[in-house]
Every structure is written in structure tokens, then in C-alpha cells.
Amino acid sequence: MDLRHLPSVDAVAGQADAQALIAQFGRQAVIEAIRADLADLRAGAKNGGAPDGASGARIVQRIAVRVAGQFALGLKPVFNLTGTVLHTNLGRAPLPAEAIAAMTAAAGAANLEYDLESGKRGERDDHVEDLLKRLTGAEAATVVNNNAAAVLLVLNALANKREVPVSRGELIEIGGSFRLPDIMARAGCRLVEVGTTNRTHLADFENAIGPKTALVMKAHASNFVVRGFTAAVAEDRLAQACHARGVPFVIDLGAGSLIDLSAHGLPHEPTVREAFAHGADLVTFSGDKLLGGPQAGIIAGRADLVAKVRRSPLKRALRIDKVTMAALAAVLRLYLDPDRLRERLPALRLLTRNLADIRAGAQRLRAPLAQRLAGWAEVSVVDCASEIGSGSQPLQSLPSAGLAIVPVVARGRGGALNRLARSMRALPVPVIGRIEDDRLVLDMRCAEDEAALAAQFAQLAPPA
């Protein structure tokens, strides 16, 4: 190809279709895309190739794809059909409408740290502290950006350069390589391992508490279960031992349940109020797990300890923004109306969905999906098991129903399933399922908007 025949940047940009792109995306982005495309054509010609598509019209077609990709949203809604309701990789708890409205309202100028009555500087925790005190029984509360930050802040503020006894059976590692011993090291305190992996007794803690002890921490083993020859110290007994020696007792509760889930037919999960009833001085927990709100880490408990945590220089580095604060406050207010909580809080509603309703939805969606995959795969309604997710009740499952997709090919079925899963992820609203037992399973527990899901199925083509 003669490089002299390539159109100029101005010639390409002057075309009507290019002008339309400039109107939509801006001149700079389009000009940069044109230059990049022309550079690719020149490089191909110099390397001995004879690339076609050097006309201005073909160049505009390519830059349209390039620019649209640059402006496409990287963070987008998806259909979570994995069967894990509080899926960490998919954003954990879906937010209620009240929280979304509150986030939008707070997106502009807002009284985040401004006292409207006095006209002076305020405290951002004021927007949620009274709600948290009322819902948990705590004397005070503060909020940071996630529960790992809450643990880090508590340890650094209360135990820097001092000792913290923890049972060996609770030295947890959770997703993202969060390890409690590593967090303790970063917080500046010294871990004192107590007991053994499977058995820890009260005497182990009593022997470990000494002049250098800052606090005793109990970590909720949320993502694993130890069975068999085991022993753990009851929280109330451990709290009594700590208080007798003048040492604070801190519980890292993790999941952050504010209500007794067994009242809704779910496995019981320790609540924040129960932790205080057992004698905890501070409790840390997540806002985006069983609480059903945005990502946040909540520290609640004794007023003097919370005040000390607030004074830590780390508090400012770990604080949440106005939009998250607005969402958290909106979710906490829903708990003031327990009679309507299930219908208004999506996380609780999805976890407690009736199996018959889930199966009926799967049956309604089977036909349109089977039609799109006719001749390529068989689609059937199957029983399956959902899980709560985010480390909550790791051995407990929730009976559910879904769609199982099995390619008709006998050989290369694994590759066919991977191509189908990729095609579903490429839909305008990606559909995320799970591959197991040589089939792609779409668990329908979280598929509340059947019409929107059916619309995505209508755009699905059998993978090549």
C-alpha cells in the first residue's frame, strides 16, 4: 500500500460520520483515535503487509468502535445468577431503592460535616450514630470504609506497640488475602497466639493476659467451620475474664447481622446486639453483608473506646464519603420498621425467597432461553442450592431452582460451556452463572426482574 494514499487526519475528521462521533464523544478523543488508526495502517504497510480498509469510511467505522469502547462503562449492572447472594466479586448486597435515592440526593453539596442548626463544623458520624446506637445497643459508633479497615483502626488506636491475644483457631484468612496476623502487624500490635487450632480454653486466655495486653480479640470464623474434637471459649466467659483484668474485649463479627435471621427461616447468625449482651466492649462488622447496605466498616461499643478510635490519625484516611454515608443511613432507617424490612431490603428478600416462586420463575424463563439455544444445547429446570456468601454460614445452603444448560455436543463440552458463559457475559447486561457437572447453571434466586432477564436472553446467540 502506498502510504501517500492514506487520508489525512483532517480529511477523516471532516466526514459526516466522524463529525457525529465528535458531537457525541468530543473532538480530542476522536482525533486521537483517528491518529492511532492511521498509525496502525502505516505500521502494517512498513512491515510488508497490505492492509485494506484504508479508505476514510472504513477508518471511521473502526474509530467508532475504538472510541465507544473508551467511553463504555467499566462498572455495570449484571444479573447475578451464580447462586451466591452476597457475592463479593459482584458487589455483595444489592441496595434498596431508598439507599439509591439517598445517594443521588447527596451527590451534590450536602451537610456531610456541617451542623445546620449551629452553622458550625459537624461530625460525619452524626448521620448514622444514633441509628446504630438504637439498633445495636452500643454507647457510640463510628464508620470507616470496610470491616478490614475497622479492625485495622481499632488495633492501631487501642493496641499499638502492645499485645493482643487471639485464639489460634481464629487467625483467619478471608478473600483478597486478608489475614488477621498481617493486619495486626500493620496495625503495630503484637499478636499473642492462644490455645491450639482446634481447642482453646479460658485458662489459655487468662495466662496470656498480662501488663502488656491492650485488648483481647475474638474473630468470627465466618468462612470456615472446625468440627470434631474442638473447644472454644464462650464470649460471656471471656468477657468476664477480660473485665476482671481491666482489658477491653473486642469481637470482630464480620457479617454484621442486626436481626435474628432465624425469625425469617434462615440459619441463625450472631447479631451485634447479642455480642454486646455477651459483654463485648467493641464490635466491628460490615455494612454490605447481612446488614444489606453499602460497603462500610462499623465500629460500635463503649463511648470512651470509640472516642479514642475517632482520634486516631488513621480515621481520616479510612473514612467513608458522603454518598456511602447517605446510603448507609437510608438502610439503617429501614430497620426501624421491622414489619416491612423483608420486602424493602433486597438482601433479606433474596435470601428468604420462596422456593416455589423461584422454581416458577425458572419455568417461565426456560422456553425463551431454550428457543435461543435450539439445536445447540438442552435447557431444563433443575433443583440447586444457593449460598448466602461473603463468608456467612459457609456450610449452610438454601434450596433453590435454576436453569441447567447442557450443550448437545458430546466432545469438547467444557470448551462449549466456556464459550456460552463468555457470550452471556458479553450481553448488554451480563448474565453470570456457574459451570458445574458439565453444565452451565443459572440459579434463579436473584432473578427478580424476569422481563429484563428475558430481554437479555432474546439477544443471545449460540456461540460458534
For the stretch 295-343, pLDDT in tens is 999 999 999 999 999 999 999 999 999 999 999 999 999 999 999 999 9
What pLDDT, in 10s, does the model give residues 178-202?
A: 788 888 999 999 999 999 888 999 9
Of the candidates 163, 165, 205, 213, the residue with the CA atom closest to the CA atom of residue 188: 163
Burial of 260 (0-12, 13-18, 19+ CB in 10 A): middle
Could you give the domains of the chain? 3-71 (no CATH), 79-87+351-457 (3.90.1150.110), 97-344 (3.40.640.10)
Report the C-alpha gap between 385 and 84 in whole angstroms: 9
Q: What is the dihedral of CA 300, 302, 304, 308, to 10 degrees?
A: -30
Angle among Cα 116, 120, 122 to the nearest 5 degrees reads: 75
Phi, psi of 392 (to 5 degrees): -85, 130
Overall residue count recorded for the chain in this entry: 464
Report the C-alpha gap between 5 and 431 in whole angstroms: 45
What pLDDT, in 10s, does the model give residues 415-448?
A: 999 999 999 999 999 999 999 999 999 999 999 9
Burial of 373 (0-12, 13-18, 19+ CB in 10 A): buried
> In the structure grid, which three cell numbers stand for residue 201, read together?
480454653
Residue 206: what residue type?
A: E
Residue with cell 447481612: 290
Would you place residue 225 in the very low, low, confident or very high pLDDT band (cuts 50, 70, 90)?
low
